[in-house]
């Protein structure tokens, strides 16, 4: 798989950042995060579907380190989640569905959102499966309409 080595290295750096935050200085965490981000970017551009998902997350509302993300960019999220989903990455379908459900960065489209949650669930995303059930419940209660 393309970009696998870069992705695996990035994941190990990510674990180090989250498992040992008090051991690392602020500067060390920033340096590691920059390395993590660059490895994810390279792997995503090489075509790795999981890395494309991770790269999209770098532009989502919450950053890797669980802070509000100053680089939040819904258009970049949608672009990279779409690439990852087209490659069959289940979690990307879930996150993409959320953008369509809320109408963030794209026109709100509940029908498309439903289909994306459904596809993510079919591919094995437990989050998409849960969100699909909530979506169906909200439709039955009249909270959402197609």
pLDDT at 71: 84
pLDDT at 140: 84
Answer whether residue 30 shows pLDDT above 70.
Answer: yes
Count the neighbouring beta carbons within 10 Å of the beta carbon of residue 88: 11
105 vs 126: CA distance, rounded Å = 24
Residue 146: inside a domain, yes or no? no
Q: What is the DSSP letter of 20?
A: S
Residues 7 and 52 placed together within one structural domain of the fold = yes
The secondary structure of 54-107, three-state, reads HHHHCCCCECCCCCECCCCCHHHHHHHHHHHHHCCCHHHHHHHHHHHHHCCCCC
Residues 63 and 124 placed together within one structural domain of the fold = no
Helix (H) or strand (E) holding 26: helix 26-45
Average pLDDT over residues 103-110: 94
Average pLDDT over residues 116-135: 97
Residues 68 and 7 placed together within one structural domain of the fold = yes
Give residue 69's Cα distance to chain centre.
Answer: 13
Residue 79: inside a domain, yes or no? no
Q: How confident is the model at residue 142 (pLDDT cuts 50, 70, 90)?
A: confident
Average pLDDT over residues 43-67: 86
Domain count for the chain: 2
Average pLDDT over residues 71-96: 96
What's the domain range around 137? 88-141
Average pLDDT over residues 87-98: 97
pTM metric for this prediction: 0.88
Contact 80, 44 (CB under 8 A): yes
Residues 7 and 68 placed together within one structural domain of the fold = yes
| β partners of residue 68 | 62
**Residue 85 CA neighbour count, 13 Å, CB half:** 24
Q: Is 137 exposed, middle or buried (0-12, 13-18, 19+ CB in 10 A)?
A: exposed
Residues 60 and 97 placed together within one structural domain of the fold = no
Q: How confident is the model at residue 21 (pLDDT cuts 50, 70, 90)?
A: confident
């Amino acid at each position: 798989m393309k970009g696998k080595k870069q992705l695996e290295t990035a994941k190990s750096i990510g674990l180090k950042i989250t498992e040992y935050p008090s051991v690392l200085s602020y500067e060390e965490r920033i340096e590691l995060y920059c390395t993590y981000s660059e490895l994810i970017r390279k792997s995503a551009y090489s075509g790795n579907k999981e890395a494309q998902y991770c790269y999209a997350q770098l532009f989502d509302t919450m950053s890797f380190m669980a802070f509000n993300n100053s680089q939040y960019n819904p258009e970049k999220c949608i672009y990279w989640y779409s690439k990852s989903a087209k490659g069959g990455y289940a979690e990307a379908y879930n996150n993409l569905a959320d953008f369509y459900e809320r109408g963030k960065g794209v026109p709100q489209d509940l029908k498309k959102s439903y289909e994306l949650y459904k596809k993510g669930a079919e591919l094995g995303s437990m989050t998409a499966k849960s969100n699909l059930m909530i979506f169906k419940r909200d439709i039955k209660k009249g909270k959402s309409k197609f």
